[in-house]
Amino acid sequence: MKNTVTTIVIFLATMLQAQTTANRFYYELNYKPKKNSETIEKIMTVLDISDKKSLYQDYSLMAKDSLMKAQIEEMQKTGQFKNMNNLMTMPKFAYKILKKYPTMDMVFTETMLTAPNPIQL
């Protein structure tokens, strides 16, 4: 009985700690590529929420960032340069929306031709 109660308390404490660090929500975004277009495209997006900020972006951007980070770390360890042009393709939805807490400042970033163009909202 004592072990069961201890296990439950440890489990609940771990869950509460995990919930206070960050939350990630996955959304399917449906949009028309052009205003008068009949086709509707679908992409996966991610909303990351933490105590200090929330970030909404394309899932492929997040996945590519982690792949590029791993490639850079490997290049630093081995000392050999690798061509990463195949990892640097632009996603269909190249927007990021950052909201800072508690000031509620919002930054909308649109990436065009690999040059970020931040707009304050």
User: Which domain does 45 fall in, by range?
Assistant: 2-120
3-state secondary structure 38-93: CCCEEEEEEEEEECCEEEEEEHHHHHHHHHHHHHHHHHHHHCCCCCCHHHCCCCCC
Query: Are 61 and 91 spatial neighbours (Cβ–Cβ below 8 Å)?
Result: yes
| Total of domains in the chain | 1
Given this model, what pLDDT does residue 26 score?
93
Q: How confident is the model at residue 116 (pLDDT cuts 50, 70, 90)?
A: very low
Given this model, what pLDDT does residue 117 score?
44
Given this model, what pLDDT does residue 73 score?
85
Given this model, what pLDDT does residue 54 score?
93
pTM of the model: 0.58
Is it the case that residue 121 has pLDDT exceeding 60? no
- Of all residues in the chain, the percent with pLDDT exceeding 90 is 17
